[in-house]
Amino acid sequence: MGWVTYLYFANLLYYIITAVIVLFVFGFFFPFIYPIANYSLLAVVSLLVVDVLILFSNRKGFFARRDTLDKLSNGDDNPVQIVLENRYLFPARITVIDELPFQFQARDKEYKLKVDSGKSKTIEYDVHPVKRGEYSFGAVNIYVKSPIGLIQRRFRFSQDMMVPVYPSFMQMRKYELLAISNQLTDAGIKKIRRRGNNAEFEQIKEYVSGDDYRTINWKATARKSKLMINQYQDEKSQQVYSVIDMGRVMRMPFEGLSLLDYAINSSLVISNIAMLKQDKAGIVTFSHKVQSVLPADRRNAQLQKILELLYNQKTGYLESDFENLFINVKTKINQRSLLLLYTNFESLSGLQRQLKYLRRLAKDHLLVVIFFENTELHAFLDKPATTTEEVYNKAIAEKFAFEKKLIVKELEKYGIHSILTAPQNLSVSTINKYLELKARGLI
């Protein structure tokens, strides 16, 4: 760890020197003050020399280290720790200034505290990134004061640390743990009752209270002389593709994150859930052309491939080409799959321009169109109108909100499933739809 020392006048020293200068000025008019000024100057210089010796006699008098995750999770609170260690022989009063990446636009990470001799302390805080990419942390600056307190010495640690920000793996792990422990309902995931028998046979087991009596295997019961039932499991190895629109419609921000980042975070979550359900997960990204296609798979390395692919995606400024999407899906995805299409339509006319391609996709695959409610528009609608202008604005806002509902009806008319959701509820809504379609045996 490199360190740099800086010496500058503290407030106390500033006032002392000012007082000495005043004494010398008055000495021009009152000669008897000269000796007092001289002794005062000598005392100040002596204290300065002592303070310098105290602070600079120990070359490594203080140590600090910034600890972060290897990669940060986009849209989440990520913990950061600064570990401090006082190696001086005296209690040190310190000021800690951490140089955060410019993306956070934060210049207020300053802490003042006291660290006893030979002791350690830890400062903890969170950072909340809202964009994927590389984040460069600067140095951890430690300003140390001696007991005299006339000067400060600066140490610099953990300089030039680069940390990548990936799609929200924290959100992914949260839903993964809930899925493994069968507690998805705690996150708002609906418990959907299976319709009919569309599962694969797994094994014959002994009946326990609560099992479906309709699955009793009478032949096995006769052989064992006790009730035996057939146990079934969900059909496996279905292909689930997250198809992400990266055109200009996905640049719209909500609560700091763009719609694209919400879609990317949700795609990572649903891909992981699908693989836990023994289905295969894949990714398609497109804008004016199809940019990447990751074939559906459920091998161990697939989730890491999805994470790396999503990390590099960016929105463009061109209109998305759904015809090109249809052609690529037709040629590259041969097996009937669940396509979760993340896009956004603000008007019915915007949907109708792309509807013929969506219908052709739905003919070969199970298509779910996922688009977003304008939460700011709903907040505006909830406020009472008090002026004529506000009444007109509210009427226009009602029209836009109603068009979103018309889009859902239009998709339903052609047998296309849809999800209209607030951005912050996207992952929960998508998981609910996926589990509903599996329960209905549509995939």
Q: Are residues 277 and 403 in the same domain?
A: yes
- Tell me if 72 sits within 8 A of 133, measured CB to CB: no
Residue 141's domain comprises 62-166
Q: Are residues 103 and 250 in the same domain?
A: no
Instruction: Please report whether residue 412 resides in a domain.
Output: yes
Q: How far apart are CA 203 and CA 215, in angstroms?
A: 11
Domain count, the chain: 4
Q: Are residues 420 and 400 in the same domain?
A: yes
List the CATH number of the domain containing 151.
Answer: 2.60.40.10
The type of residue at 73 is S
DSSP 8-state symbol, 296: E
Tell me the pLDDT tens digit for each residue of 272-305. 999 988 899 999 999 999 999 999 999 889 999 9
pLDDT, position 202: 65
Q: Are residues 226 and 266 in the same domain?
A: no
Tell me the H-state helices in 61-146: none
Q: How far apart are CA 62 and CA 94, in angstroms?
A: 10
Instruction: Please report whether residue 290 resides in a domain.
Output: yes
Q: Are residues 45 and 103 in the same domain?
A: no
Q: Are residues 24 and 98 in the same domain?
A: no
Q: Are residues 161 and 241 in the same domain?
A: no
Quickly tell me which residue has 């979103």 as its tokens.
404
pLDDT, position 9: 47
**Tokens matching residue 434:** 């996926």
Distances (CA, A) of 113 to 122, 130, 146, 192: 11, 30, 13, 54
Domain-terminating residue out of 210, 233, 256: 233
- Tell me if 30 sits within 8 A of 49, measured CB to CB: no
Starting at the earlier edge strand, list the strands of the sheet with 78-86: 62-67, 78-86, 120-127
Q: Are residues 424 and 435 in the same domain?
A: yes
Instruction: Please report whether residue 6 resides in a domain.
Output: no
Domain-terminating residue out of 151, 166, 181: 166
Q: Are residues 181 and 291 in the same domain?
A: yes
The number of angstroms, rounded, from the C-alpha of 280 to the middle of its chain's C-alpha atoms is 24
The number of angstroms, rounded, from the C-alpha of 27 to the middle of its chain's C-alpha atoms is 66
Instruction: Please report whether residue 76 resides in a domain.
Output: yes
Query: Is the pTM of the predicted complex or chain greater than 0.95?
Result: no
Q: Are residues 175 and 305 in the same domain?
A: yes
pLDDT, position 4: 42
Instruction: Please report whether residue 1 resides in a domain.
Output: no
List the CATH number of the domain containing 404.
Answer: 3.40.50.410
Distances (CA, A) of 297 to 108, 234, 283, 294: 46, 17, 10, 9
Q: How far apart are CA 323 and CA 321, in angstroms?
A: 5
**Tokens matching residue 89:** 């022989």
The type of residue at 205 is K
Instruction: Please report whether residue 370 resides in a domain.
Output: yes
Q: Are residues 50 and 110 in the same domain?
A: no
- Tell me the helix, strand and coil percentages in the chain, rounded to 5: 40, 25, 30
Q: How far apart are CA 320 and CA 343, in angstroms?
A: 10
Instruction: Please report whether residue 204 resides in a domain.
Output: yes
Instruction: Please report whether residue 5 resides in a domain.
Output: no
Q: Are residues 216 and 247 in the same domain?
A: no
Q: What is the mean pLDDT of each run of 10 residues along the chain (443 residues)?
A: 44 58 57 58 70 84 93 94 93 92 84 93 94 92 85 87 93 79 57 53 78 83 86 73 94 88 95 91 95 92 94 86 95 94 92 95 95 80 80 82 92 94 91 87 78
